[in-house]
Amino acid sequence: MKHEMVDLHIHSNHSMDTLHTVSDVLRACEREGMSTISITDHDSVGAYAELQDQSIRKLFSGNIITGVEISCQMDGMICEILGYNFDPTKIEIVTANFLSETQWRQRIVAKFKQAGLSADYTNEDLEAFNLTADLLEDLRELNREALEKMNPNFATSIRAIFRSGICNSKSPLFVPLEEGIDIACAVKQIHDAGGIAFLAHPFVYENAHDMLDYAINHVDGIEVFHPSATTQQREYLLDICKKHGKLISGGSDWHGYNDRPLNSQKIMKGETFL
């Protein structure tokens, strides 16, 4: 049954937090024997321009569904909406109003300084980091004790710094998006391009239940299968989808790191909207 495995949440280097190329992704998916995948880069559909090159597309023998992960906000909390099966030439929202990677890093450093933490970097220093995650790891090491006092989780995980700090309007480390795109706006852009929209990984958000209560009135489905969700949380999300008639999606949220391997969720085709 391995040939029926799907992974609908994968990142390439068109996301700011990933180094692997589209070709790397396709080769890895082919090795895994995946049936269907979606490359869901952060605020970018650049992967799908590359896939017009048949020398790249032929690296994967399975199906590829167009995808994207759009950054937006709800009540000051940064969240993401996944879009599938749309025309990538019509998703205008992902090509405008977002910070460059250097600008993003500059704002993160500025927030750390404002919070009284060590963050002395030149622009050249910031550009030298391969990934923004590498910058966060450096900041965590420089400020481990102070971060632990701010939030005990900050000293142990850069994901915690990102989700509970940088993405959380109640945190002194909060870095807002360039423009306050909300969930309804992100969903509309996906719908206007002929696609379907899903709330991504609900349980990575500190206000997960509020997020679900709001998003359920706008999205077509929920990403039920994700490394952040426990078995109990998955069952809860499945119940919500059944109650509200919502579609189901899922994936590894692969960025090329060992802690979230490709196909880690072992999702069968019939378990999703496919």
Same-domain check for residues 249 and 183: yes
In this prediction, residues 47-73 reach a mean pLDDT of 96
Three-state DSSP state, 203: helix
Q: Are residues 82 and 196 in the same domain?
A: yes
Domain of 182: which CATH number? 3.20.20.140
**Do 89 and 109 lie in a common domain?**
no
What local confidence, expressed as pLDDT, does residue 104 receive?
A: 86
Residue bearing the bigger pLDDT, 78 or 202? 202
Contact 8, 37 (CB under 8 A): yes
Global pTM value: 0.90
Q: Which domain holds residue 141?
A: 101-166
Q: CA 92 → CA 95, 159, 186, distances in Å?
A: 6, 28, 10
Quick: pLDDT tens for 5-16: 999 999 999 998
Q: Looking at the structure, tell me whether residues 185 and 74 fall in a common domain.
A: yes
Confidence of residue 194 (pLDDT cuts 50, 70, 90): very high
Does residue 171 lie in a domain region?
A: no
Average pLDDT (116-135) is 93
